[in-house]
Structure 1
Amino acid sequence: MVFLTSSSLTLLASIAFALRATRVYGFNPNTNNNVAAYWGQDAYGGTPNSNQALWQQPIDFYCEDDSIDVLPIAFIKTFFGTDGLPVLDLANSCSGPSFSGTGLFNCQFLEQNIQNCQNKGKLVTISLGGGGQANAFSSASQAQQFADTIWNLFLGGSSSTRPFGNAVLDGVDLDIEGGSTTNFAAFVSQLRSHMNGASKHVINAVGFDALYVQFYNNYCAVSYYNSPGDWDFGSWDNWAKTQSPNPNVKIYLGVAAMAAVADYGYVDIGTLTPIIQQTQSQYSSFGGVMMWDASAAYANNRFDAAVKSAVGSGSSSPPPPSGGSGNRIHPNGDTSKCLDVQGGNFADGTPVQIYDCNGTGAQNWVINSGVTAVQVAGTNYCLDAGDTPGDGTQMKIWECYSGIPAQTWYYTGDDRIALNGQGQCLDLTNGALGDGTIMQIWECTDNDTNQVWTLS
């Protein structure tokens, strides 16, 4: 995985694109019940009056059961230390001799621990950055060279200074909380180029696979769940479905695993469980829960196991609708006008228009909130954007095919019907309400009333 921090919506987040090994993982990126927990900083051990017996254990200690699916190792705190090598800081877990006097410690004793986790179906990544760090790249070429270094030190490359020996990690987590993000695209692209040709490969060819959003230590904390002006998981879900280049991107609910490891925003498992389950059921982009960190979760009455129980067995994205009585779809709340199949002709290529509402089957659509097909009720025809959708592409119906991009839409919480992950929305052409106006798609734009569609 590669995670790149985003400050969008004032939250710290981690965007991921994942690797899959040739072996079979227990982790399934397409479900909504995954749990990730950072390891390496012993957050619990740094709290007042902590029980030393529960201080951070070897990483495979937290892989003994099914509670945690992904373990990012934190942190490479400095990108360029002595001799230009990154500086590795793993709290109490790696304090042995460094390579050539650098801050890159020889932690080869962790090799077997990491492999033990991987053999149990866990993903293990390396996290770069962390709180209080301000790493940046001076140029695209420097970013590309750093990607080469990370590849050779931790992933599928080779080096005489591999800190974890022969253990090949499953990716990189970038927790960039300070400094400029300029040239990080060059870093990600270069790393992807290595991954594409390796024994592990990028799961999705375009975009990122997961985004960890921190819902603690900020005004959107999970403790503000009952404050609609603060709690904004829906905004992230909307981003995922209307702007993310990857229509399968998953949003993780990031929580503190113990009150003592957060400034504020921690909630106990009794409070958190219904929040997890409601969010999981409401948003198809929900991928699971991220926790800071593994040591705190274990010490807090197995908070990790309780969270895993809360997410349950999970499910994949819901399938498109297959029929039913349907709804009328109105432009911007105008209930006198309806989305209509021209001439009631249910055939491939028939244009979709706006027309006076008349109660006919040509205006009856099956549409769900979240990921959905937009299907003419009682038929096998769906709203279709064609092979090369773009601004001005006219809408038509076509035989329904499950999962194809041209027919995979997302009905957002703010009443937009967006092509899933493509940044294009169903649009009332030029705002014209005259009968026979053919509908189009256009770049999704906030506060554009031509892209608001309501149901009745």
Structure 2
Amino acid sequence: MLTDLLIKYAILLTICGLVLASGVDIDSKTNIASYFTYEFGGTDLLSYCENNDANILAISLPLKFNNLYADFSKDKKYKVDYKQLTSGIVSCQSLGKQVLLTLSVNSQEYGFKDDSEAEIFAQNLWDTFGEGSAKHNSNNPFENISLDGFNFNVTDVSSNEDNEGYSALISKLRSLFTLGKKDYFISATTYYSNAEQYITNDLLTNSDIDFIFLHDSVGQDTNKKLINWQAWVNYSQTISPNPEVKLYVGLHFLEEPSLLNPPEFSELVKSISQSKYFGGISFLDIMNSQKNLNVVSQLKEILVNNIQNNFVETVDTTIFRINVSENIAISTN
């Protein structure tokens, strides 16, 4: 009897360990992704991980790439404490969070002459931020830790001329991921509006992307429609190399009051979560205040309840409004 209980307990611990190690069920419709960026006031990644419901974190760092190598010496404004950040990454990962590094798909930041150069860059990314055996960058502050993948910001691309080599870059990364000891992810951040422009982007058309965070510029005229949502669903069905790609509805915290209340958000989730491509919601700036964190927790509750067909009409006593342009934007009140 005791032996059987110990065996069952060991199996349970193993299962829990596997769930914690993976952190993200990419087939779930209740995932929450968030940027952690110093531009929006991020300072303490560990505290951030411990106090919000996001299980995917896309870190945006003030680093440059010189000769296809990460250069951490150009940060003159934010003066990132990389020792603290490294400790925070390790702790976040131990909590089951997936930590991705955000890279801007912008030829002014870095570009490739051809696919061969892009593949060299992929190897350097793997060596610096993944499980590569060689550490090409002697100034790498991340020591021996490995991130969980890369998020490509596709919001600055004006034409396909700006992204030559990116599909080769991601293909090479995918190949390198198979050498790792854990799962790695590729995501992209792009806009709802002008969907045709971004959908025809080489990176999105020819790359295996796990999930796409759909956002839009802050300050648009408000309405209550997810303009171009269907265009992105069509992309997922007919264009994406990954037939299981997931779309995340982008949200912003704003200062201006807005139009959509919690029950309306619930109705919106009910309508779009029927799509197999819906993966959850994503934020750009959770860390601005504790009030924001409280709102995220409430939205998580709405999301989970809707997916479980237990639709809620009210949420606690905190009142907030959601401003919808061509995406959804949030303001607390």
Do the two structures share a fold, i.e. TM-score over 0.5? yes
1:258 aligns with 2:240: no
Question: How far apart, CA to CA, are the structure 1 residues paired with 2:259 and 2:231?
Answer: 21
Counterpart for residue 181 of structure 1: 163
> What is the TM-score normalised by the length of structure 2?
0.67
Aligned to 1:199: 181
For the Cα contact (< 8 Å) 1:132–1:177, is it kept in 2?
Answer: no
1:24 to 14, 21, 24: 21
Q: Measure, in 1, the Cα distance between the counterparts of 2:211 and 2:306.
A: 16
Amino acid at match of 2:224: Y
- CA RMSD of the aligned region, Å? 3.5
Choose the corresponding residue for 2:50, options 61, 64, 74.
64
Mapped to 2, the partners of 1:309 and 1:88 lie a distance apart of 42
| 2:210 paired with 1:209 | yes
Q: 2:128 aligns with which of 145, 149, 153?
A: 153
AA at the equivalent of 1:253: V
Alignment correspondent of 1:144: 119
> Of the two structures, which has the highest relative contact order with CA contacts closer than 8 Å and spacing of 6 or more?
2
Residues 149 and 184 in structure 2, CA contact (< 8 A), matched pair in contact too: no
* Whole-angstrom distance in 2 between the partners of 1:110 and 1:136: 27
Q: Which residues of structure 1 form unaligned runs of 5+? A: 1-20, 46-55, 97-106, 317-456
Counterpart-to-counterpart distance in 2, 1:272 and 1:93:
38
Change (3 A) 1:248 1:34: same
Is 1:246 the counterpart of 2:242? The answer is: yes
Per-residue deviation at 1:64?
A: 1.2
- Aligned position for 2:141: 163
Structure 2 counterpart of 1:308, which letter?
Answer: K
Q: CA deviation at 1:298?
A: 4.1
Structure 1 position 276, deviation (Å): 4.5
Could you report, residue by residue, the CA deviation over 1:234-263 in whole angstroms, capped at 9, with x for unpaired residues? Answer: 221122123222221110011212347xxx
What letter is aligned with 1:62? Y
Unaligned runs of 5+ in 2: 1-17, 187-206, 309-333
What secondary structure, in the 3-state scheme, does the structure 1 residue paired with 2:164 have?
coil
1:283 match: secondary structure: coil
Q: When the two structures are superposed, what TM-score results if normalisation uses the length of structure 1?
A: 0.50
Compared CA separation, residues 155 and 33, structure 1 to 2 (3 A): same
1:4-24, CA deviations, whole angstroms, 9 ceiling, x for partnerless residues? xxxxxxxxxxxxxxxxx9963
* Cα distance in 2 between the residues matched to 1:133 and 1:303: 36
Distance 1:73 1:27 in 2: 16
After TM superposition, the structure 1 = structure 2 runs for residues 35-54 of structure 1, keeping only pairs within 5 Å, are: 35-43=32-40, 45=41
Displacement after TM superposition at 1:197 (Å): 1.4
Q: 1:201 to 1:34 in 2, by over 3 A?
A: closer
CA contact (8 A) 1:27 1:121 kept: yes
Q: Which residue of 1 aligns with 2:223?
A: 224
Larger relative helix fraction = 2
Distance of 1:198 and 1:113 partners within structure 2: 21
How far, CA to CA, are the matches of 2:74 and 2:27 in structure 1? Answer: 32
Task: Name the larger-Rg structure.
Answer: 1
Q: Which amino acid aligns with 1:178?
A: D
**Quick one: distance in 2 between partners of 1:94 and 1:271?**
42
Q: Distance in 1 between matches of 2:264 and 2:120?
A: 42
| Aligned counterpart in structure 2 of residue 115 of structure 1, from 80, 87, 90 | 90
Report SS of the residue matched to 2:113.
coil
2:72 touches 2:139 (CA, 8 Å); kept in 1? no
Paired letter, 1:184: Y
The residue correspondences of 1:65-80 to structure 2 (distance < 5 A) are 65=51, 67-75=53-61, 78-80=64-66
Q: Partners of 2:131 and 2:171 in 1: how far apart?
A: 16
Instruction: Indicate if the aligned counterparts of 2:270 and 2:307 stay in contact, CA closer than 8 A.
Output: no
- Change in Cα spacing, 1:313 to 1:161, as seen in structure 2 (3 Å) is farther
Superposed displacement of residue 42, structure 1: 3.9
Larger deviation, residues 230-239 vs 265-274: 265-274
State how far apart, in whole Å, the 1-side matches of 2:22 and 2:69 are.
Answer: 35
**Residue type at the aligned position of 2:176:** H
Q: 1:212 to 1:61 in 2, by over 3 A?
A: same
CA separation of 1:255/1:129 partners in 2, compared to 1, >3 Å: closer, same or farther? same
Counterpart-to-counterpart distance in 2, 1:258 and 1:216 = 11
Change (3 A) 1:84 1:154: closer
Cα distance in 1 for residues equivalent to 2:118 and 2:284: 28
Please tell me whether the aligned partners of residues 225 and 275 of structure 1 are also in contact (alpha carbons under 8 angstroms).
no
Query: Structure 1 289/28 Cα, relative in aligned 2: closer, same or farther at 3 Å?
Result: same
Structure 1 residues 309 and 269, CA, compared in 2 at 3 Å: closer, same or farther? farther
| Alpha-carbon distance in 1 for matches of 2:104, 2:276 | 30
In structure 2, the CA distance between the partners of 1:297 and 1:135, relative to structure 1 (3 Å rule), is: farther
1:312 to 301, 304, 310: 304
Change (3 A) 1:272 1:121: farther
Q: Which amino acid aligns with 2:246?
A: K
The structural deviation recorded for 1:207 is 2.7
CA-to-partner distance for each residue in 1:130-168, whole Å, 9 max, x for gaps? Answer: 899543212222211111111111111242433222221
Task: Give me the whole-angstrom Cα distance separating, in 2, the residues matched to 1:312 and 1:249.
Answer: 20
What's the CA shift string for 1:37-64, capped at 9, x where partnerless?
1002241x4xxxxxxxxxx331111211
CA distance in 1, matches of 2:299, 2:107: 28
The alpha-carbon distance between structure 1 residues 257 and 194, as it changes in their structure 2 partners (threshold 3 A), is: same
Shift of 1:278: 2.8
Q: Equivalent residue of 1:125, what SS?
A: strand
Separation in structure 2 between the aligned mates of residue 37 and residue 138 of structure 1, nearest angstrom: 32
Deviation at 1:66, TM superposition (A): 5.5
User: Whole-Å Cα distance in 2 between the matches of residues 171 and 130 of structure 1?
Assistant: 15
